[in-house]
Amino acid sequence: MSVFSSILTRVAPSPTGKLHVGNARRALENWLFARQAGGRFMLRMDDTDIERSKEIYELAIQKDLEWLGLNWDLYVRQSDRMEHYQAAAQKLKSLGRLYPCYETSEELEFKRKRLLSRGLPPLYDRSALSLTEAQKKAYEKEGRTPHWRFLLNPTKICWDDLIHGTLCFEGEKLSDPVLIKTDGFPVYSLASVVDDLDFKVSHVIRGDDHITNTALQIQLIEALGADPLSIHFAHLPLLTDASGGGLSKRLGSLSIESLKEDGFEPMAINSLLARLGSSDPIEPFLSLDPLVSSFNIEKFSKATAKFDVQELKHLNAKIIHMMPFSQAKKHLESIGITGVSEEFWNTLHGNFSTFSDVTKWLKVLHNDFAPLSFSSEDLDYLKLALTFLPEEPWGPETWKNWTDVLKEKTDRKGKMLFMPLRLALTGEEHGPEMKDFLPLLGYDVCLKRLKDSYASDL
């Protein structure tokens, strides 16, 4: 007996580019839905566009989903299933629901414009339906190969959408969609419906840009002899950028790969994407489990959701602050960062907002840097500071003890008191609290860095 329930969801990116936050969000929602229901999740490559589909993108999408922790139970590549789409097309032809059309794209564009200029909806006029066999032969002799359209029924098409409630379309107000292109390849709608039916997909959770497609696909499901009620549809809104504009223009900069390169944690991305647009609060999570148990598609709104990199940064920092050393260690090793001690992590992780900060502060801790230039007053101050550098052992109180003495010996206070020391010891204006960082540096390193600061001046 199968350990899975009958729930099967899928995400179906086209391998024509990198996985971006929009696809990743769709994948995550489908994954969470399936996992919560004890069902399965399918990754499907919608690669029927052979010109634009590339193996490097297919591999990159797999890699990014794996990195996010979204494992799949089934993997389907549409280019491997062409005979199934041809068989479905054959069936539709034999039922008289798929008919050949010979218009060129220029002719179609001309018809479309004419209708629009008369204020009419740009529906295909079905003139190909009245072509005689002789006319079709003549076109073919001219060198035209047909594309094939699905003959829609003029009936009302309704379904209960999990996000939008009941949605209805009038069949006669829709254009007969092309299902087979002139090159003989199926278009997305045919391949998608055949796969959804063959694999018994139970829930199609996708972007609301597909709502009209769903109306067409429901008729297609019926025409292929299946029950449209066997599939539940949920159309979720797309993402916009923080200012409310469409995300598409900036998709390149919002690929999962680039977010990964920028040092974002997979769980920061998951924590944000899983709850964006839902009524559940966006919170940082260290694992997917709580997102699985709390996922509820009914909590998603119909309104577009805003993706804000600032919010992601915020979550990322919180996730790093929450992360225990044991988890951080594994993670650091997996991204090739070694040499982080538990003391370093526990002392400093509250200051990190990405893992690249870890590398930066490891360098600050272990590598000498070129001394900065100080004013002569500051150099005198640093010399004085060196003479009062406390003896070890050092602890969290060392910084205060040291600077209290310096305050007393000089008239300095506030920034004047701290900043030259911070700059001389770390080379940075900002960073972790010096009271935490000082004991990590230790007496010898501090002594050397203070000396180096004014050595160039001697």
Which residues are at the interface with ligand GLU (CB under 6 A)? 12-14, 46, 188, 192, 206, 210
Q: Provide, rounded to whole angstroms, the least separation between the CB of residue 52 and ligand GLU.
A: 12
Residue closer to ligand GLU (CB basis): 193 or 438: 193
Which H helix or E strand runs over 9?
strand 8-11
The answer for 404, left when phi > 0, alpha when psi is -120 to 50, beta otherwise, is alpha
Cβ at position 165, least distance to ligand GLU in Å: 20
CB contact set of 233 (below 8 Å; sequence gap of 6+): 159, 161, 162, 203, 204, 214
CB of 54 to ligand GLU, least distance (A): 15
**What is the spatial distance between Cα 394 and Cα 398, in angstroms, rounded to a whole number?**
6
End-to-end CA distance of the chain: 82
Of the pair 52, 113, the CB lying nearest ligand GLU is at 52
Tell me the closest approach of the beta carbon of residue 13 to ligand GLU, in angstroms.
5
- Nearer to ligand GLU by Cβ, of 13 and 284: the residue is 13
Q: How far is the CB of 206 from ligand GLU (least distance, A)?
A: 4
Question: What is the C-alpha to C-alpha distance for residues 263 and 189, in angstroms, rounded to an integer?
Answer: 37
Query: Which long-range CB contacts under 8 A does 446-452 form with residues at least 24 apart?
Result: 446/389, 447/386, 447/389, 448/368, 449/368, 449/424, 449/425, 450/382, 450/383, 450/385, 450/386, 450/389, 450/424, 450/425, 451/386, 452/368, 452/371
For the CB of residue 66, give the shortest distance to ligand GLU in the complex, in Å.
19
What are 198's two structure tokens?
């063959």
In the complex, the smallest distance separating the C-beta of residue 33 from ligand GLU, rounded to whole angstroms, is: 13
Instruction: State the Cα–Cα distance between residues 130 and 143, nearest whole angstrom.
Output: 20
Closest to 390 measured CA to CA, from 380, 402, 381: 402
